[in-house]
Chains A and B, each alone.
Chain A
Amino acid sequence: NAGVTQTPKFRVLKTGQSMTLLCAQDMNHEYMYWYRQDPGMGLRLIHYSVGEGTTAKGEVPDGYNVSRLKKQNFLLGLESAAPSQTSVYFCASSRITGEQYFGPGTRLTVT
């Protein structure tokens, strides 16, 4: 039982490049989330999903897209990376009760 896993763990991109972050959970949770965490700020919700095939915008969705084609996977895409997207990205999943379980994070640097 791996819980929530994320790939890759680290990535360096040049401005304008694209990439996809993969999140996978094996707890059969309906809900999945993508957050970013920046120094001095709390986790901020980028996008979330309440079930397979559904996605919705969070607090800071601009510059990101997501897809949830399978219940256990939630993908976060950056189409044209910008230095402002340098951050640590966390994926989480939960049941309806709202207690969220997080993956280990992806550290992204955009130069």
Chain B
Amino acid sequence: RKEVEQDPGPFNVPEGATVAFNCTYSNSASQSFFWYRQDCRKEPKLLMSVYSSGNEDGRFTAQLNRASQYISLLIRDSKLSDSATYLCVVKNTGGFKTIFGAGTRLFVKA
């Protein structure tokens, strides 16, 4: 079983739609969680960190469920520019081991 698992998609949604991605992780000692965005043939870029109480950044909301060991990303009012691959990232306690999920592809169409 992979340490971090994501639905690869693709998710095809119309502009203005709300879309949610989930990501599960297997190591209960994981301490830090992030969502990165990666455009086609580009480098990953940090989208947002994920905090225990949940956090929001504009149209993006991230949630963490430690009991079930998953994190989620909700995108409201999708824009064409949101089309990208979204990477779930988990960092374990006390070290530098950062595990990247394989990513979920999102296509937003007009």
Contacts and interface: CB of A to CB of B under 8 A. Distances in A.
Contacts of A40: 8, 102
A35 B87 CA distance: 14
B103 A42 contact: yes
Q: What size tier do the contact residues of chain A reach?
A: 20 to 34
Given A40-B102, A42-B4, A99-B49, A31 B43 contact: no
Residues of B contacting A: mostly: strand
Given A103-B43, A104-B42, A42 B102 contact: yes
Nearest to A38: B102
Given A48-B96, A98-B98, A99-B49, A43 B44 contact: yes
Contact of A105 (B4, B43, B46, B96): B43
Contact of B98 (A41, A56, A100, A101): A100
Contacts of A35: 100
A75 interface: no
A32 to B, nearest CB: 10
Contacts, number: 45
Nearest to A97: B32
B99 A42 contact: yes
Contacts of B32: 98
Contact of A42 (B41, B43, B45, B87): B87
A98 B91 contact: yes
A50 B4 CA distance: 24
Contacts of B102: 40-42
Interface string B38-79: 000111111001000000000000000000000000000000
B11 interface: no
Interface of B: 2, 4, 8, 32, 34, 41-46, 49, 87, 91, 96-103
23 contacts: A33-B98, A40-B8, A42-B2, A42-B87, A42-B99, A42-B100, A42-B101, A42-B102, A43-B87, A44-B100, A45-B98, A50-B96, A98-B91, A98-B98, A99-B46, A99-B49, A101-B46, A102-B43, A102-B44, A104-B42, A105-B41, A105-B42, A105-B43
